[in-house]
Amino acid sequence: MIKPHGSDELNPLLVSDPAENEKLQNEANGLKSITVSSAAAANAVMLGGGYFNPLTGYMNKADILSVAQGMKTTSGLFWPTPVVNMVQDAGDLAAGDRIALKDPNVDGNPVVAVMDVEAIEELSGDEMVAVAEKIYGTADMEHPGVSAFMAAGNVALSGPIQVLNSSYFETDFGDTYKTAVEIRDEIKARGWNKVVAFQTRNPMHRAHEELCHMAMDRLGADGLVIHMLLGKLKAGDIPADVRDASIRKMVDIYFPENSAMVTGYGFDMLYAGPREAVLHAVFRQNMGATHLIVGRDHAGVGDYYTDFGAQEIFDEVPEGALELEIFAADHTAYSKKLDKVVMMREVEDHTKEDFVLLSGTAVREMLGNGEAPPKEFSRPEVAQILMDYYQSLDS
């Protein structure tokens, strides 16, 4: 099986031994505490599950700036985006403190992790803008990732953590949420060696489904891991439980047995385009995938990124920094001429009118009106789940 990023063995920070976990929980109750941002809590969950191997905690200022500037930590570890615990005010906290990190996303704000604070450092306004511009390609506050990054604060708390739980992900998405450790174990149990990962924050329409089949066929893959984001999204995106139901229905009907796993991970979407695509590659290697499908405008939002910037950035990844490879995909759509889904760049003698193309706005309007999109665009069983959701918004 493919090695994790940066180490021979996976290093999950979740304290999984029940007795040790209880002991840490009891200790946490007597520590100074802060309620962290949603992004910092999600980072703790990703560290806990082994997705952010080999990191041991939150980055300090020097590493934040180094990762933003050149995609590597000050120690030379390849890493594409800062993993941070940013606050607006550290209050009475000091370097050397051991503190409890409270979860903002669960009622009662239970402790999600315990942190040994090694440094408390302020980033200037210019430094915050510089980091945003490198990671998101913009400092525009209209960008949802930039807005969330700036809102969390400019004071970085750094140091190692021990993680107590997986926040709300394990309870709300018990059949879907999996740690990197659990996915590796399942890949091994299924006997897969070459494994393709598909990232999604949306329901999968016919073109997505066929793209997965194309990647598996062309790579000679043993299996596919459909790995959906379960954390915070921007307003208007479809909730995770609806996505989950629609994707599971598609896999049950249209994928052969033991060819696809439906799983999810606990992270807040960055919408960071190319940089986030590289982060996706890092943590998919950690979960055991050998390949990641990277399509047009992967992890993008609005018009902030070029169509294939998320593929081109992999040319900047130093040789040997990642073992995982990408499957570079074009926009896929149903060809009326060929009566099948194709990558648009791979077919000749086609005009735009030869494809079944629908805007997201048009699809949402159709679903909201109880009208299924054409079968060439969306499987009817998937469309029914989405129609039920959109119509429930009006009831």
Q: Where in the chain is the domain with CATH 3.10.400.10?
A: 18-170
Q: Residue 327: is its pLDDT beyond 80? A: yes
Burial of 186 (0-12, 13-18, 19+ CB in 10 A): middle
Which of residues 240 and 304 earns the better pLDDT score? 304
Q: Per-residue confidence at 383, pLDDT binned at 50, 70, 90?
A: very high
Q: Are 130 and 58 in contact (CB under 8 A)?
A: no
Helix (H) or strand (E) holding 264: strand 260-265
Mean pLDDT for the stretch of residues 172-185: 94
Where do we find the tokens 């450092």? 121
Q: To 10 degrees, what angle do helices 240-254 and 380-394 make?
A: 160
CATH of segment(s) 18-170: 3.10.400.10
- Output the pLDDT for position 174: 85
For the whole model, what pTM was predicted? 0.95
Mean pLDDT for the stretch of residues 270-284: 97
Tokens of 104: 């903002």
- Residue 7, sorted as left (phi over 0), alpha (psi -120 to 50) or beta, turns out to be beta
- Output the pLDDT for position 231: 87
Helix (H) or strand (E) holding 221: none
Q: Where in the chain is the domain with CATH 3.40.50.620?
A: 174-394
Highest mean pLDDT, choosing among 230-234, 340-344, 365-369: 340-344
d(CA 318, CA 391): 48
Active-site annotation holder among 11, 98, 109, 201:
201
- Output the pLDDT for position 79: 98
345 annotated active-site: no
Q: Per-residue confidence at 360, pLDDT binned at 50, 70, 90?
A: confident
364 annotated active-site: no
Please name which of 379, 384, 381 lies closest in space to residue 367, comparing C-alpha atoms.
Answer: 384
Look up the CATH architecture of domain 174-394: 3-Layer(aba) Sandwich (3.40)
Active-site annotation holder among 21, 98, 202, 364:
202
3-class secondary structure per residue, 90-104: CCCCCCCCEEEEECC
Q: List, for residues 209-266, the tens digit of each pLDDT value.
A: 999 999 999 999 999 999 999 987 777 778 888 999 999 999 999 999 999 999 999 9
User: How long is the chain?
Assistant: 395
Percentage of residues of the chain with pLDDT beyond 70: 99
Q: List, for residues 14-48, the tens digit of each pLDDT value.
A: 999 999 999 999 999 999 999 999 999 999 999 99
For all residues of the chain together, what is the average pLDDT?
Answer: 95
- Output the pLDDT for position 263: 96
- Output the pLDDT for position 395: 63
